[in-house]
Structure 1
Amino acid sequence: MKVLLSLVLLGMSLAVAAQDQSAEKEAIKKTISILFDGMRKGDSTLLKTAFDKKAVFHSISASAAGETKLVSGETLQDFAKAIGTPHPDVWDERVSIEEIKINGNLASVWAPYKFYRGDKFSHCGIDSFQLMKTTAGWKIIYVVDTRLKDNCPE
């Protein structure tokens, strides 16, 4: 009887843990959605709510010689200013979240994307996000992406 009760309690605790992970993953997706909603709307105030104030941005690209390089230098303020500065076309980054991993207050997200300026395709790649759970919810602390013009998935 004790073994059966132990198995039932274990099963219940695993089900609760899975529900907690599911709720956390939805909260993480919501944070990332806020980022891209802010981009589409050109709303830098909305966009900044998805980030921690100390967020870091990088891109990985190839030089003309084909060497891989890490491009950095953009701050959250730079990014928000670019988003909030009026531009003629909607900046529409269409992401597909493929994987979310969570360990305590740290989450990692892998998301292929296609970027459009208005209706015109610009580039594609992968967004990799690191998020931190704060008292205000999940906040993006690090973004690194690739930017490809060719060999984009259909």
Structure 2
Amino acid sequence: MKIFVLVCAVLVTSLPVQAQEQGPAEAVVHALFDAMRAGDGAAARALVKAGAPLERLQADGTVKAGSFEKWTAWIDEQAPGDADEQIFAVKTFHSTAGLATVAAPFVIYYKGELVGCGVNQFSLALTSDGWRIIHGIDVPYAGDCATYRDMVEGE
């Protein structure tokens, strides 16, 4: 829990930016998880810049490399509703007109079973095709995921 709180504090306090109401960058992140729930990897891929990394900060402080390409291919293998990552208490930070960071705590269910929780962080850029995700990273929460949402929303 201490590592999770420290990582969240660093992420939020290191951004010299101002939180905004939900806008187009945050809408892209919501659409990403809508595509996941629908089992539609093509829709998810359309929201991400080709080659964008998708990483995970491990409990030991190392970063596990991955890619949105691999993740969206996995989405293609899922039936609608199998993978249900629910984001909440989402905050969007804009540093300039063309860059945004979206922090999105999550709980994830797979085939109806709670399998994890934590925080996603996405970097987005305003491209000629609209807002696109250019980087993603998450950190899993090591505590009780059954109470995680209430804990985060109660802060």
Per the alignment, residue 100 of structure 2 pairs with: 107
Per the alignment, residue 124 of structure 1 pairs with: 117
Per the alignment, residue 8 of structure 1 pairs with: none
Q: Which runs of 5+ in 2 are unaligned?
A: 1-19, 151-155
TM value normalised by structure 1: 0.74
Shift of 1:79: 1.2
Equivalent residue runs for 1:75-154 within 5 Å: 75-86=67-78, 90-102=82-94, 103-152=96-145, 153=148, 154=150
Higher RCO, Cα 8 Å, sep 6+: 2
Give a deviation string over 1:58-89, Cα, whole Å, max 9, x none. 10112xxxx322111x2222111111013596
Per the alignment, residue 17 of structure 1 pairs with: none
> What SS class does the counterpart of residue 68 from structure 1 fall into?
coil
Range moving further from structure 2, 96-105 or 41-50: 96-105
1:138–1:97 distance in 2 versus 1, CA, 3 Å: farther
Distance 1:41 1:98 in 2: 21
TM-align CA RMSD? 1.9
Q: Which runs of 5+ in 1 are unaligned?
A: 1-20
The percentage of counterpart residues that share the same residue type is: 24
Higher-Rg structure is 1
Greater percentage in strand: 1
Q: Count the aligned residue pairs.
A: 127
